[in-house]
Amino acid sequence: MGPPRAHAATRRRGTRPDLRNLSLLIVLAALVLVGALTTPEQFLSLQNLQLVLTQASVIGVVTVGVTFVIIGGGIDLSVGAMVALATVWATTVATQQYGLGGILLSALLVGLGCGLVNGLLVSFGGMVPFIATLAMLASARGLALQISAGRTQIVDVQPVLELGQRDAYVLGVPPIVLVFAAVTVIGWLVLHRTTFGRRTVAVGGNPEAARLAGIDVRRQRLLLYLLSGLCCGIAAFLLIVLTGSGQNTNGNLYELDAIAAAIIGGTLLSGGRGTITGSVLGVLVFTTITNLFALNNLETAVQQIAKGAIIVAAVLIQRKGRTS
């Protein structure tokens, strides 16, 4: 027997995701206004826009994958650890010999490999997603630590490093941001315009009904964890480009940030509902907050308090938007 899904039936159908995203847009606009008022010259500059989007990209790609998993009724706590393992694996000296292609491919393969294990444990091992991915969190972090021996693995492959430099910007857009945009668009198309997307929503909303409707629930769940792993592989590559290194501490607390961004973006934690645009807006809200803090030179303690307050505000506004 799966977790109770009684609320799925009673949940309001036809809720307007646009309205929910609208409330997030209001929060984002408010943050932009604060930024424009406090540090007008820095905040509204092109450079800062590039910075905010670049910083949103790595966690953004992870969040797109996590959104799929949560909509499908699961959870993935291992995303940060998978990113760490992928960056460490892809930056080992042996891998660096194969250049950009070797680094990219190994990052993607590690992500996919971990995702496959998660998926098999949940779908065919009958494990609760929380536990299966928690186990992956622990072992992937451990493996990353062992491979790197706690060292920072510096990347010595010029084409990889150049991707993060200003010269590589396409019409003012950093390549890292382009990848994030592509993942967002593809994620949106897959979720809202394909059978795969409809199946994901069905499996998350009511797995029993989905099974009766002829959907292979186990296969669908396996694919969702694979997708999350793949996103982590992509994110790991972006992180390598961004920092020029691989480290076992990479992706620290990504799982919380990604899940929080998805929930703020209107994804139901119990599955069956969510949007890619909402999740991406959630990520942008977080990143803009961090940027505002840095620009205004706020202390760490104040930052943490303010972040908590803004999360609460965002969710309250959202709830208001839903009931009105």
Partner 1 sequence: MTEHAHHTPTTRRGILFGAAAVSAGALLTACTSNESNDRAATSDDQQTGGLDDKPGKHVTIGFAGPQADHGWLNAINVNAKSRARRYKDVTLEVTEGSNDTAQQIGQIETLINKKVDVLVILPADGKALTQVGLKAMRAGIPVVNLDRVFASPQAYRCWIGGDNYGMGLNAGHYIGEQLKDKKHATVVELAGIDNLELTRQRTKGFDDALKNYPHIEKVGRQAAEFTVESGQSKMAGLLQAHPSFDALWNHDDDQGVGAERAIKQAGRDGFLMVGGAGSRKAMDTIKAGNSVLKATVLYPPTMSASAIDLARALAQGKGIGGMAELEIPASLTLYSAVVTKDNVDDHLPTGFH
Q: Where does this chain bind partner 1 (CB under 8 A)?
A: 39, 41-42, 45, 47-48, 51, 54-55, 145, 149-152, 154, 164-166, 239, 242-245, 247-252, 290-291, 293-297, 299-301
- Ramachandran sector of residue 249 (left: φ over 0; alpha: ψ -120 to 50; beta: rest): alpha
In the bound state with partner 1, the residue whose beta carbon lies nearer, of 21 and 54, is 54
Q: How far is the CB of 43 from partner 1 (least distance, A)?
A: 9
Residue 260 C-beta: closest distance to partner 1, Å:
17
Cβ-based nearer residue to partner 1, 196 or 293: 293
Closest Cα to residue 261, out of 52, 51, 56?
A: 56
Least Å distance, CB 147 to partner 1, is: 12
Q: Please identify, using beta-carbon distances, which residue of 54 and 118 lies nearer to partner 1.
A: 54
Measured between its terminal Cα atoms, the distance across the chain in Å is 36
Which CB sits closer to partner 1, 242 or 315?
242
**Which is closer to partner 1, CB of 8 or CB of 236?**
236
Separation CA 163–CA 192 (nearest Å) = 31
Q: From CA 64, how far away is CA 232, in angstroms rounded?
A: 10
CB of 108 to partner 1, least distance (A): 19
Task: Check: CB of residue 110 under 8 Å from CB of residue 81.
Answer: no
d(CA 271, CA 273): 6
Burial class (CB in 10 A: 0-12, 13-18, 19+), 40: exposed
- Asked whether 209 and 264 are in contact (CB, 8 A), the reply is no
Residues 6+ apart with CB under 8 A from 229: 65, 82, 111, 112, 113, 114, 115, 116, 118, 119
* Minimum separation from the CB atom of position 196 to partner 1 (A): 32
Smallest distance, Å, CB 286 to partner 1? Answer: 12
Q: Which is nearer to partner 1, 26 or 242 (CB)?
A: 242
